Amino acid sequence: MSDWLIPDWPAPAGVKACVTTRAGGVSLAPFDSLNLGDHVDDDPQAVAENRRRLTDRFSIQPAWLKQVHGIDVVEADPSVVATADACWTATPGIACSAMTADCLPALFCDRAGTRVAAAHAGWRGLAAGVLEATLDNLKVAPEDVLVWLGPAIGPQAFEVGPEVRDAFVRHLPLTEQAFVPSHNPGKLMADIYMLARLRLAACGVTAVYGGGFCTVSDPRFYSYRRSPRTGRFASLIWLER
């Protein structure tokens, strides 16, 4: 199992990104082994060592967030753990991060390679507008933005209630196509990747890459739905020094 997943997308020179996997760390089961979440009852020393391995491997300073399924966006600051679900930076060497275990991580950059951002988008944050808020803070014309969608729960595993569909359709009726009936009466299967693409397209962003993962079925990644007591992997993006 590889320790890192490098996004396959046409990012401009100087923009780097990676997604961690479960491999390459020191955490014991059920967090084995490269858990980066310090809020899941893992050994704090193990988490610190895992984060050190990440920062040393890529020579970066990650800005970690206290994620709350909201839409607040902050400027990335490695010295502060801000309560927010997205961050951006124009400073080389500082990495924007999103920690997930089924929620959708979205990485942003501009075509000029001068600004980057990362967003954590669970369905609540996605419906409330975290991607749109990240775009607003990036302060780049939509046609000049590239987005990569990282590993998240796949459409064959994401069963939701009708209230989830209604939360999206109220904002953007087109998103109804991202929901299909489940075999369980009264339930629906949701495609979080389609939801993100439709929301971004409504903002004028069409250069969207990634998707096609499923954290529930792919053992490389942590999945809360597969195992509620689990770790978190990270999707990070930064500008080279």
Residue 160 lies in a domain: no
Cα torsion angle, 169, 173, 179, 185, sign = positive
User: Model confidence over 82-119: pLDDT tens digits?
Assistant: 999 999 999 999 999 999 999 999 999 999 999 999 99
**CA-CA distance, 16 to 194, in Å (whole number)?**
25
pLDDT at residue 31, rounded to an integer: 98
Number of domains in the chain: 1
Amino acid at 178: A
Residue 182 lies in a domain: no
- Burial degree of 180 (CB within 10 A; 0-12, 13-18, 19+): exposed
What is the residue range of 41's domain?
4-137+146-152+207-239
pLDDT at residue 235, rounded to an integer: 98
Span 199-220, average pLDDT: 97
In the predicted structure, residue 1 carries a pLDDT above the cut 70: no
User: Model confidence over 23-81: pLDDT tens digits?
Assistant: 999 999 999 999 999 999 999 999 999 999 999 999 999 999 999 999 999 999 999 99
- Burial degree of 18 (CB within 10 A; 0-12, 13-18, 19+): buried
Residue 77 lies in a domain: yes
For the domain that residue 12 is a member of, what is the CATH number? Answer: 3.60.140.10
Residue 218 lies in a domain: yes
**CB of 24 closer than 8 Å to CB of 3:** yes
pLDDT at residue 3, rounded to an integer: 87
List strands edge to edge, sheet with 4-5. 4-5, 15-20, 233-239, 94-100, 61-63
Banded pLDDT at 188 (limits 50, 70, 90): very high
**CB of 93 closer than 8 Å to CB of 58:** no
Residue 189 lies in a domain: no
Coil, strand or helix at 140: coil
Distances in whole angstroms, Cα of residue 85 to Cα of each of 94, 155, 179, 181: 17, 23, 24, 30
